């Protein structure tokens, strides 16, 4: 199997071209093998290239634990660069089919190379049935108690479910995310973002990802954090997000939430599986 290892702000992925559907039905098993950091390549997930009937190309996302993800913000930037570099798609912007619908990827070129990518991530939903969450009202600044500690949470669907908790990052252990991920309010689990407000135009975020654990970056989580911060009046609609793996720019517009960040190739290779 030929592959490319890529990362967006340290959120790393193994990308494989499966337009012939040779690995169909084996995605979960393959992801566990490839993402193992000792016996495989290592990654937070795999991105599979497939043909699409509704867009120019399709991206299938499998987390490192073998579970399916409908959307990944850092992953789709890497995916867009991959399909451009390999001449699979030759237009800019690129329309990419995901489990969360078709997303537009705008490529920023320098010396004929893709350096950054902007993704229209779509719009969030606070509807509990969409998230899904066991409640009727929106989860906005809702107080919960878990393991003897109180949290004020805001939860939405941004392609995948995300829960945001505001405070000083030094006051949180990222591993607290594993308990919130499986909190009884969320029947299918939730991603968890700890967010610190720096000023109206800047925030810091650390993310515990459902199905992957602590990661250096999470694009959908960064967008969700900006949306929540804006909704609660902490920030404006254009925010620089600082994360362990670097930084992203997120802007809220009428037609969606736009995220801009890097997409880098780590290495290429071939693996026997």
Q: List, in order of start, the domains of the chain with CATH numbers.
A: 2-121+260-270 (3.10.310.10), 142-256 (3.10.310.10)
Whole-angstrom distance, CA of residue 11 vs CA of residue 75 = 8
The percent of residues in the chain predicted with pLDDT above 70, rounded, is: 100
Whole-angstrom distance, CA of residue 97 vs CA of residue 68 = 15
Active site residue 218: yes
Whole-angstrom distance, CA of residue 204 vs CA of residue 73 = 17
Average pLDDT for 199-207: 98
First vs last Cα of the chain: how many Å apart?
7
The sign one gets for the Cα dihedral 263, 267, 268, 273 is negative
Residue 7 is assigned to a ligand binding site = no
Q: What angle do CA 23, 187, 77 make, to 5 degrees?
A: 45
- Of the listed 35, 78, 195, 218, which one is catalytic? 218
Can you spell out the DSSP letters for 87-110?
TS---SSEEEEETTEEEEEEEEEE
- Of the listed 72, 78, 195, 223, which one is catalytic? 72
Whole-angstrom distance, CA of residue 104 vs CA of residue 154 = 27
> Which residue's structure tokens are 């991920």?
181
Average pLDDT, the chain: 96
Query: Does the pLDDT of residue 190 top 80, yes or no?
Result: yes
Cβ-contact 252, 18 below 8 angstroms: no
Give pTM, 2 decimals.
0.92
Q: How confident is the model at residue 238 (pLDDT cuts 50, 70, 90)?
A: very high
Residue 193 is assigned to a ligand binding site = no
Residues contacting 128, CB < 8 A, separation 6+: 134, 135, 136, 137, 138, 139
Cβ-contact 34, 47 below 8 angstroms: no
70-118 pLDDT, tens digit per residue, is 999 999 999 999 999 999 999 999 999 999 999 999 999 998 899 999 9
pLDDT at position 211 is: 87
């Amino acid at each position: 199997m030929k592959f490319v290892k890529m990362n967006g702000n340290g959120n790393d992925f193994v990308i494989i071209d499966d337009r012939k559907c040779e690995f169909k039905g084996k995605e979960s098993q393959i992801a566990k093998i490839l993402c193992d950091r000792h016996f495989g390549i290592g990654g937070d997930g795999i991105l599979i290239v497939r043909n699409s009937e509704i867009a120019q190309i399709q991206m299938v996302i499998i987390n490192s634990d073998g579970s399916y993800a409908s959307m990944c913000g850092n992953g789709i930037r890497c995916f867009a660069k991959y399909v451009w570099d390999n001449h699979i798609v030759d237009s800019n912007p690129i329309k990419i089919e995901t489990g969360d619908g078709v997303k537009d990827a705008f490529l920023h070129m320098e010396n004929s190379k893709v350096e950054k990518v902007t993704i229209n991530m779509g719009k969030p939903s606070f509807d509990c049935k969409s998230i899904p969450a066991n409640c009727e009202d929106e989860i906005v600044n809702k107080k919960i108690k878990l393991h003897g500690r109180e949290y004020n949470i805001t939860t939405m669907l941004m392609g995948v479910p995300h829960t945001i908790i505001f405070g000083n990052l030094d006051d949180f252990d990222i591993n607290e995310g594993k308990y919130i991920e499986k909190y009884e309010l969320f029947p299918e689990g939730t991603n968890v973002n700890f967010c610190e407000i720096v000023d109206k135009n800047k925030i810091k975020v650390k993310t515990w990802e459902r199905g992957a654990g602590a990661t250096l970056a999470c694009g959908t989580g960064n967008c969700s954090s900006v949306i929540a911060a804006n909704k609660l009046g902490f920030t404006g609609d254009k925010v620089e997000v600082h994360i362990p793996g670097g930084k992203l720019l997120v802007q809220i517009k009428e037609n969606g939430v736009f995220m801009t960040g890097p997409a880098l190739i780590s290495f290429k290779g071939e693996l026997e599986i």
